[in-house]
Every structure is written in C-alpha cells, then in structure tokens.
Amino acid sequence: MVSAQLGTTFNPEYLSMSIDHPICEARALDVSFGSPAVEVLRGVDIEVRPGETLAILGPSGCGKSTLLRALCGLLQPSGGEILANGTRLEGVHPGVSIVFQSFALLPWLSVQDNVGLGVNGLDLTDEVARRRITECIELVGLDGFEHAFPKELSGGMKQRVGIARALARSPQLLCMDEPFSALDVFTAETLRSEVYRLCREADEDLDESRAIEGLRSVLIITHIIEEAVFLADRIVVMSARPGEVQCVIDNTVPHPREYHDPAFESMVRRLHTRIVEGEDLDEFDQVVGTADGRLEVLPEVTMSEIIGVVEVLHDHGNSMDLFDLDEETEEELGRLLSLVKAGELLDLVDTDGNRVSVTAAGTSLLGAESSDRKDVLASQLQRLNVMQWVIEQVSQSGEDGADREDLEVALVRRQPHGASTLHSLLAWARFAEVLSWTAEDGTITLGGAVYRG
C-alpha cells in the first residue's frame, strides 16, 4: 500500500502532469456578434486539461461552436482572454486540430490528399509526412481507400477521413464539433465507439499508439447527454441565450462504459436533472419592456410540433414529468424545452417544476374538430403581445399588407430575438389562419381568423 502510494508520488509522468498548464483555457470569455451586438457567450471560464477528454454539452444554438472557435484562436473574443499552454493566445492555437460536423473535405482531392492537408505547413520530411498519412489512414480503418474520392465514400467514411486529417497534425488537443450528428444512428454508434478507443489511448500510455503520438486531450462538443457520458472525463454543461457555463460535472462512470450500466444511466439522469434545473422555464418571459407592452420571445418550433407534445401529454393522463416526456417524444432535450416553452406561452400547457400538464385551452384544442382547431389556436395566439403588435402593424399598412422585412426591422428594434421570433410567429399565425402571406413577395395580410375589437 505504502509503496503503491510512493510509486504514484514519484512517477515523473504524474509530476509533470500535475504542473502542466491547461492546453486551452478561456477566462471570462465574452463573444458578441453584429451591430447592434448580440451576446452569444458570456463570462465563460473553462479549461481543457492535459490527458482528459472534456465534453461541452448544450442545446443547439447555445454557442458551442463559437466557444470552440474562440478556444482555437479562430475568432477574436469581445472580452476576456484565451490561454494556450499557460500563455495568452495570439493567432491560431498551434496544438489543436478540429473535426467538423460537415466533414469539410475537398471533393477534388483523394482520401490520401485530404488527409495530407493535415500535415500541410508542418516541418516534416516527405518520408515522415507520407508515413504519418498512411498511419492515420490505417488508424481510422480506411486502408485500401487511399485513392478514393469523397463522393465515392459513405458519410461514416467521410468522417473517418476528417478524423484522420485532424490526427495527421499530431495535435496536442483533438477537437470534435458534433462529429457524429450528420451520420445515421448506426454509423454514428460505430464511430463513437472508435473515438472512445482513441480517447482512451490518448489517456493511457502514449507509447502504444504511433499515429496519435503527442495527443494529450480530446474536446468533444455535443448536444447528446449519452454521448458526453460515454466519452468524457468531465462534462461542461452550457445554457443558452447567452451561452454560459451552467455547471461542470466529473464523469465518474467506470470504464469500459456501457449504456445500460446502472452507473451510466444514473449519470445520464443526473445530467438531465441539472440541465432541466438550469433551464429557467420562465426564461422566455424575460422580454424587453417597450411602449407597446412586453413583446415575447418565441422559440423556433412549429405549431404541429407543439400540438404533438400536447397530444403526447394527453395520451399520458394530461400530465408528465419532463424526463418521461423527453423519453416519450424522443426529442433532443433542448428542443423539447423549447416546445414546452412555446406551449406555455400559448397557454396550452403549464409547468410546475419538472411537471408539464395540459391546460383547459390545451384540452379544448385536442377535443375540437380539426376545422375548429384553428379557431382555438387563433385565440390562443392573440393572447400574445407580440401577435397583437404584428396584427396592429399589418392593419396599419392598409389593404396591400405589410412588408415582411419592414416588420422584421421594426421588431428587432424592440426585441433582441426579433428575427427568430417573427419567423416562428408568422408560421404559427399562418397555421392558425390569423395571417396569410406568400413567400414570393413577402407581403403579409390579415387572415380570416382575426378577431377585431
């Protein structure tokens, strides 16, 4: 026992690890885009430590890709700083390579040449470069396809090329931005297992793996809880609008990881609860005060999806735990939360902590004949200030209707999410026949179901 402890203490590798700086670090990072500025990330503090696999988990649009770009030095922060191996990063991080969701292969280059892009600009002899390319192609199981072109490859194979190209740089840190989300579930699962092996190898003794020599850490970006729990040592949970770190969780699930392990399932459940707690279901009520009253921020979801959720609730006794509702609808959690928020704004559902219930209006919607459903939806929609505001604008525009772009400009001035809110609102309003418009000329007119007065 004593000797084992001494062994650990005097292991030079251990010592050097403990004094190593994070490979990448964001301190009080702010990122805003455009003018007027839209805040995408606020006060983000994260670090990627040597030897770890870190997951950044958050709903779509919360700023994960933006955070990744900032960490790699691909975009200039609006505030705070980025450190690379302990010093302030100027330009692009030299030790990082990225695997993209969209594969980002050059169609006119063969597999070999695409992977070869990874060693571009490195100070290698031709011989070493060639060997490294071959090793990386073997590592991802593409030997035999060296001379194939991207269009001849399946999605999974394309992503293997993306991974091989990233590894060919011999990065300290391999970053993967939702690398499996463009693949079918089976391919995604296979590739995820292979990346798991890669992360484990990066974690363990470096001697064993030739091609990934030097690889210390992996950063994986995902919106899937299970993926984070499967791959990562630590999980950074982000919340949206603006993107902030909600919490960082040490993933204690033992290796080898199995989805149906009780420890695995309990970690998934724990993350689930944390995400739901952190997501303030009243968040969409926080709107900017205007002379016209408060114009609500609407989530980007469709009316049929909202009705779908009300129907699932109805089929389960009109009230469900958010977690069960998520399982039942098979929606990504972030998306489900948007749907629930939308249902709540329309007063079709009600939330109390994690419980979601159908309201009286929701019940009458489901009970109505399909032709009457539009009337129920129209009257629910007209409870929204933002709907009333749009109707007023359209009414004032005379018989020819209102110009969509003008409306958007006017709404964006009153509310920071004006563009996406208008997008949702117009689609909902057309669904309920409150407004009508033709995409061709972008003119919006009042529909048949508007109740004046």
Interface with ligand ADP includes 337 (CB under 6 A)?
A: no
Q: Give dist(CA 258, CA 245) in Å, integer.
A: 27
- In 91-109, which positions are buried (b, 16+ CB within 10 angstroms) versus exposed (e)? eebebbbbbbbebebeeee
Among Mg ion, ligand ADP, none, what binds residue 137 when CB lies within 5 to 8 Å by partner kind? none
Q: Between residues 37 and 122, which has the closer beta carbon with respect to ligand ADP?
A: 37
Q: Which stretch binds Mg ion (CB under 5 A): 57-65, 71-79, 309-317, 366-374?
A: 57-65
In the window 30-59, what residues touch ligand ADP (CB under 6 A)? Answer: 33-34, 40, 58
- What is the nearest approach in angstroms of Mg ion to the Cβ of residue 68? 8
Q: Which stretch binds Mg ion (CB under 5 A): 65-73, 104-112, 333-341, 418-426?
A: 65-73
- What is the nearest approach in angstroms of ligand ADP to the Cβ of residue 44? 12
- The total number of residues written for the chain in this structure: 453
Among Mg ion, ligand ADP, none, what binds residue 363 when CB lies within 5 to 8 Å by partner kind? none
Residue 120 backbone phi and psi in degrees, to 5: -55, 135
Q: Give dist(CA 192, CA 173) in Å, integer.
A: 17
Q: Give dist(CA 272, CA 192) in Å, integer.
A: 21
Q: Between residues 238 and 407, which has the closer beta carbon with respect to ligand ADP?
A: 238
Q: Between residues 36 and 107, which has the closer beta carbon with respect to ligand ADP?
A: 36
In the window 64-93, what residues touch ligand ADP (CB under 6 A)? Answer: 64-66
Among ligand ADP, Mg ion, none, what binds residue 60 when CB lies within 5 to 8 Å by partner kind? ligand ADP
Q: Between residues 32 and 193, which has the closer beta carbon with respect to ligand ADP?
A: 32
With contact defined as beta carbons under 8 Å apart, do 164 and 139 qualify? Answer: yes
Count of residues of this chain found to bind ligand ADP when the rule CB under 6 A is applied: 11
Interface with ligand ADP includes 60 (CB under 6 A)?
A: yes
In the window 16-35, what residues touch ligand ADP (CB under 6 A)? Answer: 33-34
Interface with Mg ion includes 65 (CB under 5 A)?
A: yes
With contact defined as beta carbons under 8 Å apart, do 217 and 325 qualify? Answer: no
- What is the nearest approach in angstroms of ligand ADP to the Cβ of residue 86? 26
Q: Give dist(CA 372, CA 383) in Å, integer.
A: 18
Among Mg ion, ligand ADP, none, what binds residue 36 when CB lies within 5 to 8 Å by partner kind? none
- In 399-434, which positions are buried (b, 16+ CB within 10 angstroms) versus exposed (e)? eebbebeebbebbbebbbbbeebbebbbbbbebbbb
With contact defined as beta carbons under 8 Å apart, do 107 and 149 qualify? Answer: yes
> How buried is 167 (Cβ within 10 angstroms: 0-12 exposed, 13-18 middle, 19+ buried)?
buried
- What is the nearest approach in angstroms of ligand ADP to the Cβ of residue 236? 12
Q: Between residues 42 and 257, which has the closer beta carbon with respect to ligand ADP?
A: 42
Residue 285 backbone phi and psi in degrees, to 5: -80, -15
Q: Between residues 42 and 64, which has the closer beta carbon with respect to ligand ADP?
A: 64
Extract the tokens encoding 152.
Answer: 């001849």
| Contact residues for Mg ion, defined by CB under 5 A | 64-65
